[in-house]
Chains A and B, each alone.
Chain A
Amino acid sequence: MIAVTAAVILLPFLAAVAGLLGSRFPRGARGGAADLAANRRAALIAIVPAVLSMLLALWTAYVSLTGTGVSTGTLDVIPTGSLPISVGLLVDPLAASVAVLVTVVALAVQVYSVGYLAGDRRYPSYSAFISLFTSAMLLVVHAADLLVLYVGWEVMGLCSYLLIGHWWEDRANSRAAVKAFLVTRIGDVGFLFGIFVLGMAAGSFRIADVISQVPQMSSGTVVTATLLLLAGVAGKSAQVPLHTWLPDAMAGPTPISALIHAATMVAAGIFLVARLHPVFAGAGPTLDVLAVAAALGMLGAALAALAQDDLKRVLAYSTISQLAYMAGALAAGADGAAILHLITHGAFKALLFLCAGIVIHTVGSNLMSAMGGLRGRLPITFVTMTVGFAALMGLPPVSGFFSKDEVLVSMERALAAGPLTDAAALLLYGCALATVAVTGAYATRAWLRTFFGERRAVPLPESATPHTGLAKSATTPGFPESTTPHTDAPEPASPRAGLSELATPHTGPSVTAHTDSPEPTTPHTDLFGSAPSRTGGLREAPATMLWPVIVLAVPTLLLGFTGVGFAGAADVHWGTAALSVLLALLGAAVVYVVWRGAPLADPARVLGPFRVPLERAFYVDSLYRALFVLPVLHLARLVARTDDRVIDGAVRGSGRATLSLSGLVRLTQNGNAQLYVTAVLAGVLLLAVGAVVLG
């Protein structure tokens, strides 16, 4: 059992190593056909272990869910001088079911990426990083020791950084990657300290020991530890107040958004709380904090999603909102409901992102203002994405309905009894219901604006992107499509749009078309190779992209029926379910009525003066920048100046002081013998006087 689990984790890791080192072998074969060979090899190296890993994970889950329960194994114990670190793994139903989600989505994304990034010259490293990520996430899921879990936790963050910055030619992507890593790292410091507190109090870093020692700990210790852990959870799972990195992380390739920023990594925080649920259950104040953060996060993010024009940012805010649902369920004491929603959300949000990827791939823009009327042209995508949106809204009989029902019921129960204080429980439940309505509204808006009505933009996809100037300049024959189809502009109101007006032909892709640099900076050139968007005819994406979508649509549809038992609940609670469906339909109906009035305009226009604050997500980014980023940079400059002037100044000053002192002393060495004799005589006189007086 443990050996199989180790294989599940190690297979993607070995794939990552092999992919990084082996894809381009023999070296020197760069450019053109050789690159495609490297890509094929890399795809093979990535996908075969992913398949094996998934099969083994499925087997593990089957065994674990049907019988043996928990099993653990320790490979080695590392002495630290204090508490030892035990390198061990653990399999239980929770870990096994999340592992299945991870491996399935990872495989789907790997297959999807073959089509999505066909011809990208950095595909080998890209697929290797996905493999590394999969391995790290599985390590988090299966870790039996908190510090081992932390290792996987951070490696995931690194992979997220590397993959968000996949198209690093664009500074905006690079900035988004740095931001994602730094914001999560802030949380992770708290997380590490939380592990210290828990481990030292329990006398062991092993998860089982920690949980068994909780009753012996003082409540102060437990509350401190869980609050610190919560910082890491908020960072990783993009919860208030550390949520700001997730929308920007959409700068990465869409499959990455599906895997890391929707289905798995961001769910790791939720998973961790579920893993340590007995600890959190003993810390009432922490659960209150979690409930309030979740309540604010779910409603705020849903409202922000309502005003976004970038399809991926809509989904990103929706992810924050749905993760907050899970956090709310955890706060209400229902870890089963949270994990059920985690798994269904993982399936349907990955589905939505992959569908969005096909749409973006075809249209050539992230912006919904450039979409519309795609229903007829992308029939398969339309059907699958409709399933995804239905799951997001929580409409029966799609899986999201069942899991959201569980979540809402658990929050409702927390009103009457549970670890939460009354005010927090009321706030949580109220926000959850309001969010259901808003979710219905933004999902409907995105659905309508993508697939219905008329195509709003002319078939030149570039005209909608912020890189207008660059697009028009790209006329080199070899690079007819060298405009960046995946513009991924993280901020719709970005100054780059204005900047592109100034762009002259020698900046941007046309330059890179001429350059002899080893890596042309138009990595996604070939993506458009077959998409004749200029002629106006859109068609479905290649099979490698469609099949993962279809495969993911199946669990999105059916998971609810199998999962009802998993949450430990008997069946659907019809009262709550009716209420939530009603609310969701209400939100959808409002949007539909508004849209019906003017199908070409954005339904978000009715938000009026609130639209801009919502689009900017309540200016939290600007606030953080003013509060933290700029002061730190000022402080850094101050320190650099101080170091040069004050501290090193003192050192240099001591040197100068020594020199001037020596100059002073040198005055006496003037070569005048009379002076020397006088000095000697004076000294003798002083000594004599001294001897007489003191003696």
Chain B
Amino acid sequence: MSWVLVALLVVPLAGALMLLVPYGKGRLLRAHALTVSGVTFALSLVAAVAYGSDGAVGMRLVTDLAWVPWLNLRFHLGVDGVSLPLVVLTTLLTFLCFVYMCREGGNGPDRLPRGELGPGRPRALVFTLLLLEVGVVGTFLALDLLLFFVFFEVVLIPMYFVIAIWGGHARRAAANKFILYTLLGSVVLLIGLLFVWARTGTLDMVALASAHGAGMPRSAQTLAFVAIGVGLAVKTPMWPLHTWLPAAHTEAPTVGSVLLAGVLLKMGTYGFARIAIPILPEGAAAVAPWLGAFAVIGIVYGCLACLAQRDLKRMIAYSSIGHMGFVLLGFATLTPVGLNAALFGNIAHGLITALLFFVVGGIKERYGTADIPALGGGMLARLPHLASLLTFACVASLGLPGLAGFWGEMLALLGAFDPAPGLSRPLFLTFMVLGGIGTVLTAAYFLVMLSRVTHGRPTETVHAPLLAAVGPAETREAVAAAERVTEKVTADAEQVVEETMAGGEDSGPVDTAVVDDTGGAMARRDTEGARGSDSSGGGGRARGGRVRDVTPHELAAWVPLVVLILLFGLWPKALLSLTDPVVHGLLGAP
């Protein structure tokens, strides 16, 4: 059965290469994308079935071929309880992204139109995403340090193009920041990996992990851990190496955001579980307090930053920093429960944040903006299904028990309550308390956002096309101008919309239109006014004055995520029984 893992790499790669042959119309491209990603997903399910659930430790479905014999590089693939869920998550999310791209209507660049291929270069996008899938799946399957690094790097290039070509207004800057930042991290990672190779003479991750750092003194391990850890932390991202993430998420197209948050961030945390902690246990013990400190700073910092965001996508990007903080805190405890928490949190975050980005992408497509004040509120009245899904995703993300997000956070805190021997207990208790404060703040920003966006009376937000053409700097100016009109707005986050309504009331039937110096106009109107004059205007998809609620394609892409969030929330054993035996092996614990 070991061919399955090779096929997991070959199928999407072959699918991507086939696209280089120039032929076919939109329908064919759709079928191609869905088939290739569907087959890959099915293969990952086959791998999961073949893996079984007997709870035995060790790599399965191993392929071990010579690759560069004189360097002793090997093409070594395998899967265990740590990597299997991530592989399935990757193939699932890629497949769902393609399903989502088949949706009708909309003006996003990430669409696969049924008829003529539009100007959005959909063929290139499919090619890029399939290549991305190869890289990510390879990262999770690789059992050779250099092979791991190769796949790790392969991912960067497609993601760069996804942001730089199909992104928003400031896509170039965001893409450049993303690629430079992560490449810099990769260099440090490579140095660390080579250092390990130089000290131990092998690149075999299985052998290195079972040696548990034998042959490397503590100082060397610490050095190697710091180098590898920094490289992985950029990807995760860990505070303060996170600033590429909000920019990349804000500018990336919906599918880019989904894959970035759902899968790419997991490569960093997977590296901790697969390489850094098992191969360098003493280094991990030395660095763990710092890792934990940065993790909880990231939790609290990310939550506070979320409270002050006004762009939905940016807010969710910052919320990722908070959630990945919980994952890192789990690793930092160096206990089986902490590692379980981190691995569970990984999957949960992948599902939940992917759903959040999907839904927010749908909102942005319909309203023409993701700016929270501009959305205006009342979404539950205008788009009840979309708003309900947003509510569900937010509630899952804030860690409600019974949904997937809870178990990762709870177990991470439990791990911090009783960290591994040798780690300072009071320090980790402090981390636990800060993490607990983080969960309250997480609930706070999600509920405040829900209150502002989904509750209240609906107001029609009309964006003149001019605004769609100006860059983000101007957008910010326009927004600032809008803010100036509704004075006192900034005082209280919750009062923003209320005050704006009051402003509208004062001015009576006259619309509050704000025109900034670049000519961008943003008009907020009450429903009545908007119905009269502007039913066809603006960037929002007004079809007969109505915005469509969730479409069948969107539903098809989102429902599997909802089901899985519920499943793992109600039956966490489904994941924990996979990871738990492996985790004990990784830590060398009984």
Contact with A along B177-188 (1 / 0, CB 8 A): 100110000000
Interface residue B114 (Cβ < 8 Å from any Cβ of A): no
* Among candidates A181, A192, A636, residue contacting B436 with C-beta atoms closer than 8 Å: A192
A689 within 8 A of B: no
A596 interface residue (CB < 8 Å to B): no
Q: Please, what's the 1-or-0 string for A498-518, where 1 marks a CB less than 8 Å from any CB in chain B?
A: 010011101100011011111
Q: How far is the CA of A517 from the CA of B440 in the complex (A)?
A: 34
A636 with B456: CB separation less than 8 A: no
CB distance from A624 to the nearest CB of B (A): 14
Judged by a CB distance under 8 angstroms, whether B572 is at the interface is yes
Main SS of chain A's interface residues? helix
Q: Does B545 contact A (CB under 8 A)?
A: yes
- Asked if A521 contacts B378 (CB within 8 A), the reply is yes
The residues in A between 616 and 654 inclusive whose CB is less than 8 angstroms from any CB of B are: 630, 632-633, 635-640, 643, 647-648, 651
- A79 near B573 with CB under 8 A, answer yes
Query: Is B531 a contact partner of A516 (Cβ separation < 8 A)?
Result: yes
Asked if B336 and A81 make an inter-chain contact with CB atoms under 8 angstroms apart, the answer reads: yes
List residues 493-552 of chain A with CB under 8 A from any CB of chain B: 499, 502-504, 506-507, 511-512, 514-521
A643 to B318, CA, bound (A): 11
Which of B90-98, B150-158, B278-286, B441-449 is near enough to bind chain A?
A: B441-449
How would residues 313 to 346 of chain B score, 1 for a CB under 8 Å from any chain A CB and 0 otherwise?
Answer: 0000000000000000000000111111100000
B418 part of interface (Cβ distance < 8 Å): yes
- Which of B23-31, B137-145, B304-312 interfaces with chain A? B304-312
Which single member of A82, A154, A178, A507 contacts B400 (CB below 8 Å)? Answer: A154
Contacts of B309 in A (CB 8 A): 640
- Distance A647 CA – B239 CA, assembled complex (angstroms): 10
Q: Chain A interface: which size bin?
A: 35 or more
Contact (Cβ within 8 A) B458 A161: no
Q: Which residue from B340, B378, B448, B528 sits with its C-beta under 8 Å from A169? A: B378
- Residues of chain B contacted by A177 (CB below 8 angstroms): 447, 451
Within 8 Å CB of B206, what residues of A? none
Of the listed stretches B128-136, B191-199, B264-272, B497-505, chain A binds B497-505
Q: Does B161 interact with chain A (Cβ within 8 Å)?
A: no
Q: How far is the CA of A173 from the CA of B454 in the complex (A)?
A: 13
A519–B387 Cα distance when bound, in Å, is: 12
A675 at the interface (CB under 8 A from B): no
**Among A503, A517, A521, which residue has its beta carbon within 8 angstroms of that of B505?**
A503
B460 to chain A, nearest CB (A): 9
* With A174-B451, A506-B526 as contacts: A80 and B414 at CB distance below 8 Å: yes
Q: Is the beta-carbon distance between B439 and A189 smaller than 8 angstroms?
A: yes
| Chain A residues closer than 8 Å to B402, beta-carbon distance | 151, 154-155
User: A169-B457, A182-B444, A521-B378 are known contacts. Are A506 and B436 too (CB-CB below 8 A)?
Assistant: no
- Per-position contact with B for A102-121: 1 when CB-CB < 8 Å, else 0? 00000000000000000000
Contacts of A182 in B (CB 8 A): 440, 443-444, 447
B572 touches A189 (CB 8 A): no
Q: Which residues of A contact B406 (CB under 8 A)?
A: 151, 154
Contacts of A161-177 to chain B: CB distance below 8 A? 161, 165, 168-169, 171, 173-175, 177
Given contacts A81-B335, A154-B401, A506-B526, contact A175 B494 (CB under 8 A): yes
From B384, B439, B509, contact of A518 by CB (8 A): B384
Are A78 and B304 in contact (CB-based, < 8 A)? no
Count chain B residues whose beta carbon lies closer than 8 angstroms to a beta carbon of A.
Answer: 83
* Pair A80/B436 contact, Cβ less than 8 Å: no
Interface residues in B88-126 (C-beta closer than 8 Å to A): none
Residue from B411, B413, B508 in contact with A504 in the complex, judged by beta carbons closer than 8 Å = B508
From A165, A499, A636, A639, B502 is in contact (CB under 8 Å) with A499
Q: Is the pair A636, B305 in contact by a Cβ cutoff of 8 Å?
A: yes
Say yes or no: B580 contacts A79, CB within 8 Å.
yes
Q: How far is the CA of A158 from the CA of B399 in the complex (A)?
A: 11
**B219 part of interface (Cβ distance < 8 Å):** no
Q: Is the CB of B451 within 8 A of A517?
A: no
Q: Is B417's CB within 8 Å of the partner chain A? A: yes
Given A178-B448, A519-B381, A633-B493, residue A82 in contact with residue B304 (CB < 8 A):
no
Nearest CB on A from B210, distance (A):
20
* Binary flags per residue of B337-361, CB closer than 8 Å to A gives 1, else 0: 1111100000000000000000000
* Residues of chain B from 571 to 587 with CB closer than 8 A to chain A in the complex: 572-573, 576-577, 580, 583-584
Q: Which 10 A-B pairs have the closest CB atoms?
A: A81-B336, A636-B307, A82-B337, A640-B308, A81-B337, A174-B455, A168-B455, A151-B401, A189-B436, A648-B243
Residues of A within 8 A of B (CB): 76, 78-82, 147, 150-151, 153-155, 158, 161, 165, 168-169, 171, 173-175, 177-178, 181-182, 185-186, 189-190, 192-193, 196-197, 200, 499, 502-504, 506-507, 511-512, 514-521, 630, 632-633, 635-640, 643, 647-648, 651, 655
A-B contact pairs, 16 of them (CB 8 A): A81-B339, A82-B411, A168-B454, A169-B457, A171-B456, A171-B498, A177-B451, A190-B436, A506-B509, A506-B529, A507-B505, A512-B527, A517-B378, A520-B381, A640-B304, A643-B305
Residues of B with Cβ closer than 8 Å to A?
177, 180-181, 240, 242-244, 301, 304-309, 335-341, 378, 380-384, 395, 400-402, 406, 410-411, 413-415, 417-418, 432-433, 436-437, 439-441, 443-444, 447-448, 451, 454-458, 492-494, 497-498, 501-502, 504-506, 508-509, 526-529, 531, 545-546, 549, 572-573, 576-577, 580, 583-584
